[in-house]
Chain A
Amino acid sequence: MQIVVDSFMVNYQRIGKGPIIVFVHGWGDNHKTFLQLAQQLSRTHELVLLDLPGFDGQRLPKTWDLADYSEFIASCLKKIDAKTITALIGHSNGGAICISGLASGTLKANKLVLLASSGVRDVNSSKKSTYKVLAKVGKVLSRPLPQRRRQKLRQALYDRIGSDYLLIPELAETFKQITSHDVRSESKKVEVPTLLLYGSDDTATPPEFGEILQQQIPNSELEIVDGADHFLHHSHASYIARRVAAFLGEKQRVS
């Protein structure tokens, strides 16, 4: 399904019946990342899964911050008449958007689920600084190479850092803006019950991020999912669905 919001064409899905859960995907991803999870949760809830702009070829008119994304989500929900939101579920950067949106009051929900949420920014900063210097030196040294080869080398370096900086080149400035936005202070203002789920093997948003955020969010609980990586909602979809359903106070009707 599609709607036009703020001049963007938005792909979204609205499935199931019951209290509304809104899913917010991560950087460079789309709503389909939640389909496994949605398949199970749609038995007890109405699910709203939407694509954030910028990752589907549509250009952002300016550099966006987390606040722009949360305002955009609020506009989408208004447009489709999704009024009372039982829970927000955000993965990775989607989690940071949810924290920022709930803290500012732009988004409203009764509960929050953070799946491998980002938003904690200056951990491992010395390691990242080293790679940044390497990136700058490499940029000069690789100039004689063909553009495609240079691009591959740069991508390899940023992959090594665990950075999505080059994932969508058109959004490089927005990426820089977002990754300089630490949500720790905002997370203190998140008053709704919050469940944080992190993968024990996640290198992009390690369990340590979860511990930091859990200390900040007043009414929160953290669980580290053993053997899971950054996409724990893919590898452990059934378990995550059960855990989320239990957290939302539903009977465990999911398989």
Chain B
Amino acid sequence: MNSMKTVAVIFGSRSAEHDVSIVTALASVIKPLELSGQYQVEAVYIAKDGRWFWDDKLKDISLYQSGEIDDFMRKAPDVHLSFKDGLTLVKSSQFAGRKQYKKVDIVFPATHGTYGEDGSLMGLLEMADVPYVGCGLSASTICMDKVLTKQVAASAGIASTPWIWCTSAEFSANPKTILDRIKPLKYPLFVKPAHLGSSIGISRVENAKELINALEVAAHYDDKIIIEQGVKNLIEVTLPIIGNDTPKVAYLERPMTSSEDFFDFDTKYMQGGEKGKGKSGGAKGAQGYSEIPAKLPKKLQSLAEEVGKQTYSALGCNGIARVDMLIDEKAGKVMLNEVNPLPGGLYAHNWSLAGTSNISLVEQLVQFAEARHQHRQKLATSFSTNYLKQF
């Protein structure tokens, strides 16, 4: 028992996707890690106000569903982090004020969106020099910024649909200039906050009036906005990928929605894919009703898998990510849409169909984390200089 490695699963945080993160952590990470019998799992919950908690009770979904989490947080001690020899969780014990310590061997971030998936948590874990699952600091930051994603991908020769971006401040100060810049794009357009996931704040617009409203909505959520031209003859696909230097793909998955019916937050997480219901050949996944594997011509399928893997590598992804692509079926063209560095529920439903169980998935992800950390340990991070003596 004592030889088991300790994995701290961190979830929640100050994010619009806070609740989605709880479900990912509890159902798709903690449970399979415990079932593997290989790890001692510690649940570390970051509340919406940014406070950290660490307790076995946090593994129970009913704590959140019943609202008892508020009572728990009122009574529970805050968690402190020690970076001595890696990462150690510290909290006051209930007994005589003694402190309780838990040395963490591996961290499994299960946060979505801001203050977690966006690289901020990864920065903290890099400072602690602890192995952690998933994309590193820079890849997370790039993936969580739709503009940076497309800029980096373009530099690697990966195509996207025509797009422009602006800051919310630019739009507020001079909307006409921004509208003029958007003019070369053809309707319908998709207006998105650059940093948010789960389709929050995304609008599909058909005309200039709707465009202004959509820009206001995106600016309400984010300081950076991306405006993308819609794709004709659209097939939308997503590709879950795991691995470090050698990416391994699951099945191409096709959300069963039409372009008029693109995934919004409700469809993704609240309705269980109601909009796609009734169409044949699908399965219920984290994003609702999907076709897995996507029924595509062999050539397009290979091309999409290749674009997915190229994107994964170009952006420096490690461990796990999901690459979303837009396919113009008639033109036979595959374009990058966006990359999700920590897919909701790890896309375990897809991996499971592809032959990787949820338990095997989390075990592999932990192994990738350790391998990356070992590799980084070999890199020189300090140099002897006589700079201070010269000062």
Q: Do A and B come from one complex?
A: yes
Residues of A within 8 A of B74 (CB): 147
State whether the Cβ of B216 lies closer than 8 Å to any Cβ in chain A: yes
Pairs A–B under 8 Å by Cβ, sample size 6: A1-B203, A3-B216, A4-B220, A80-B213, A147-B74, A148-B71
- B74, B217, B219 — which one has the most chain A CB atoms within 10 A of its CB? B217
Output the least CB separation between B267 and chain A (Å).
Answer: 13
State whether the Cβ of A215 lies closer than 8 Å to any Cβ in chain B: no
Considering the complex, give the chain A residue whose CB is closest to the CB of B219. A4
The answer to whether A3 touches B217 (Cβ under 8 A) is yes
Residues of B within 8 A of A80 (CB): 213
- Beyond A1-B203, A4-B219, 12 additional contacts (C-beta under 8 Å) are A2-B201, A2-B203, A2-B217, A3-B216, A3-B217, A4-B217, A4-B220, A9-B217, A9-B221, A79-B213, A81-B209, A147-B74
- Contact flag A3-B209 (CB < 8 Å), given A9-B220, A147-B74: no
Considering the complex, give the chain A residue whose CB is closest to the CB of B221. A9
The answer to whether B213 touches A4 (Cβ under 8 A) is yes
Identify A3's interface contact among B71, B213, B219, B221, CB under 8 A: B213
The answer to whether B216 touches A4 (Cβ under 8 A) is yes
Considering the complex, give the chain A residue whose CB is closest to the CB of B215. A4
Output the least CB separation between A169 and chain B (Å).
Answer: 12
CA distance A3 to B221 in the complex (A): 12
Residues of A within 8 A of B70 (CB): 148
Output the least CB separation between A157 and chain B (Å).
Answer: 19
- A3, A80, A146 — which one has the most chain B CB atoms within 10 A of its CB? A3
Residues of B within 8 A of A148 (CB): 70-71
Residues of A within 8 A of B217 (CB): 2-4, 9
Residues of A within 8 A of B (CB): 1-4, 9, 79-81, 146-148
CA distance A106 to B153 in the complex (A): 51
Output the least CB separation between B15 and chain A (Å).
Answer: 14
CA distance A81 to B219 in the complex (A): 21
CA distance A80 to B221 in the complex (A): 20
Residues of B within 8 A of A (CB): 70-71, 74, 201, 203, 209, 213, 216-217, 219-221
CA distance A3 to B209 in the complex (A): 12
Residues of B within 8 A of A2 (CB): 201, 203, 217
Considering the complex, give the chain B residue whose CB is closest to the CB of A32. B266
- A2, A4, A148 — which one has the most chain B CB atoms within 10 A of its CB? A2
Residues of B within 8 A of A1 (CB): 203
Residues of B within 8 A of A81 (CB): 209
Considering the complex, give the chain B residue whose CB is closest to the CB of A81. B209
Output the least CB separation between A146 and chain B (Å).
Answer: 8
CA distance A9 to B201 in the complex (A): 10
CA distance A85 to B345 in the complex (A): 44
CA distance A80 to B71 in the complex (A): 42
Output the least CB separation between B350 and chain A (Å).
Answer: 29
Considering the complex, give the chain B residue whose CB is closest to the CB of A11. B266
Output the least CB separation between A148 and chain B (Å).
Answer: 5
CA distance A147 to B71 in the complex (A): 9
Residues of A within 8 A of B220 (CB): 4, 9
Considering the complex, give the chain B residue whose CB is closest to the CB of A3. B213
CA distance A3 to B201 in the complex (A): 10
Residues of B within 8 A of A9 (CB): 217, 220-221
Considering the complex, give the chain A residue whose CB is closest to the CB of B204. A1
The 9 A-B pairs at the shortest CB distance, nearest first, are namely: A4-B216, A2-B217, A3-B213, A4-B220, A148-B71, A9-B220, A4-B217, A3-B217, A9-B217
Residues of B within 8 A of A79 (CB): 213
CA distance A148 to B221 in the complex (A): 33
Output the least CB separation between A88 and chain B (Å).
Answer: 22
Output the least CB separation between B292 and chain A (Å).
Answer: 29
Output the least CB separation between B158 and chain A (Å).
Answer: 30
Output the least CB separation between A151 and chain B (Å).
Answer: 10
CA distance A40 to B120 in the complex (A): 48
CA distance A189 to B70 in the complex (A): 47
Output the least CB separation between B216 and chain A (Å).
Answer: 4
CA distance A79 to B201 in the complex (A): 17
Output the least CB separation between B297 and chain A (Å).
Answer: 35
CA distance A3 to B191 in the complex (A): 13
Residues of A within 8 A of B201 (CB): 2
Output the least CB separation between B223 and chain A (Å).
Answer: 15
Output the least CB separation between A30 and chain B (Å).
Answer: 12
Output the least CB separation between B62 and chain A (Å).
Answer: 15
CA distance A9 to B221 in the complex (A): 9
CA distance A4 to B171 in the complex (A): 14
CA distance A148 to B71 in the complex (A): 7
Considering the complex, give the chain B residue whose CB is closest to the CB of A9. B220
Residues of A within 8 A of B221 (CB): 9
Output the least CB separation between B235 and chain A (Å).
Answer: 24
Residues of B within 8 A of A3 (CB): 213, 216-217
CA distance A3 to B205 in the complex (A): 12
CA distance A147 to B213 in the complex (A): 43
CA distance A80 to B207 in the complex (A): 13
CA distance A175 to B257 in the complex (A): 41
Residues of B within 8 A of A4 (CB): 213, 216-217, 219-220
CA distance A42 to B273 in the complex (A): 23
Output the least CB separation between B50 and chain A (Å).
Answer: 17
CA distance A80 to B217 in the complex (A): 13
Output the least CB separation between B316 and chain A (Å).
Answer: 33
Output the least CB separation between B313 and chain A (Å).
Answer: 36
CA distance A223 to B289 in the complex (A): 43
CA distance A137 to B124 in the complex (A): 50
Residues of A within 8 A of B203 (CB): 1-2
Considering the complex, give the chain A residue whose CB is closest to the CB of B74. A147
CA distance A147 to B70 in the complex (A): 11
Considering the complex, give the chain A residue whose CB is closest to the CB of B209. A81
Residues of A within 8 A of B213 (CB): 3-4, 79-80
